[in-house]
Amino acid sequence: MMLSVLLLVGSTKAQQIEPLQNGGFEQWDTINGYQQPRDWYTLNALTNFGFDPTTEMTDDVHSGKYAVKLISKQGSQANLSGVLSSGPILDEMLQPNFDNLKFAFNKRPSAFRFYYKSNFLEADTAVGTFVLTKWNTSSKKTDTIGIADFSINKNFNTYQEANIVFNYQSASVPDSAFFIISSSADGFEPKVGSAIYLDDLALVYGTISVKNISLENMLLVYPNPAQTAINLSNSSELGSVKVFNNLGQIVFNTVENKSLLSIDMTEFVKGLYFVEIENKSGKLVKKVILN
């Protein structure tokens, strides 16, 4: 899904830290034979249908007594990612329904902070997003107010601090929010064994000072492989965006002063493409496969 790392790690000052409810994962409940971190949702309900739990309580912590471990596992019917979310992922028919992830929220945090360890297999990537939204009474649709997207694809044996800065698209105050993270980027074909540990989730308010952040660390290009479109997300404006085919021919070219861009690839021939992004942070080329 997401190709590169958007992991903003740095110092913070003049700030207020607000822990998320049970963001330290100290409280767990047993529900119908499986464990679940209180106030969070997982795919562990599928254990009643023969799947192994993919979200686990662990005593390998950053602080406190417990943390949460998300691990992609093999199943008899399908492989599953470890998933943690702010609301129910599955509906009453056990089908994915992301409309239920939202919870009431009316603040504008600067960043989403957490601590993590990771062990990825076969070049896998953990991906997540914290989205702030608001119902638009005029359009009768939900507007996105801000997003803190991240992906992690490097292995760390000790806990690392991550501060994921919110990219605001509106000056409005949100009325709701949702959060979801998966241990494997491709939820349909997760890399079995890939795992990420999470602890001490919190929101940061105030000034965020992030040092030495390269374009490689700020840019997301997803999904990969793609079928109909690719999405580009950056913490600042994207700048010059070009897409080359495997013959070196430019098939898409634009200058984008926003931080988000979706490129329609329905008319492109299937195969390998190169996405080139250049702005004041530097130049970066990413490979994307169109299936």
- For residues 154 and 139, the answer to whether their CB atoms sit within 8 Å is no
7, 85, 87, 98, 244 from 90: Cα distances, Å: 28, 11, 9, 8, 39
The pLDDT of residue 217 is 47
All structural domains of the chain, each given as residue ranges with its CATH number in brackets, are 12-208 (2.60.120.890), 215-290 (2.60.40.3080)
* Residue 158 tokens, joined: 């000790």
The pLDDT of residue 260 is 82
* Residue 45 tokens, joined: 């309900």
The pLDDT of residue 214 is 42
Q: What is the pLDDT along the chain (291 residues), one digit of tens a residue?
A: 222 333 333 444 457 999 999 999 999 999 888 999 999 999 998 888 888 999 999 999 999 999 999 999 987 778 889 999 999 877 776 666 667 889 999 999 998 999 999 998 877 888 888 999 999 999 998 999 998 888 887 888 999 888 888 888 889 999 999 999 999 887 777 889 999 999 999 999 987 654 433 444 456 778 878 889 998 877 667 889 999 887 778 899 999 888 788 999 999 998 888 888 887 767 777 788 888
68-71 long-range Cβ contacts below 8 angstroms, 24+ apart: 68/25, 68/37, 68/40, 68/197, 68/198, 68/199, 69/195, 69/196, 69/197, 69/198, 70/126, 70/181, 70/182, 70/183, 70/195, 70/196, 70/197, 70/198, 71/183, 71/193, 71/194, 71/195
Rounded to 5 degrees, φ, ψ at 215 are -60, -35
The pLDDT of residue 6 is 35
- Residues 281, 232: Cα–Cα separation, whole Å: 15
The pLDDT of residue 26 is 97
The pLDDT of residue 96 is 63
Q: Which residue has the tokens 């992906």?
A: 151
Burial class (CB in 10 A: 0-12, 13-18, 19+), 269: exposed
- Residues 119, 124: Cα–Cα separation, whole Å: 9
Q: For residue 248, list its beta bridge partners.
A: none
- Residues 18, 27: Cα–Cα separation, whole Å: 18
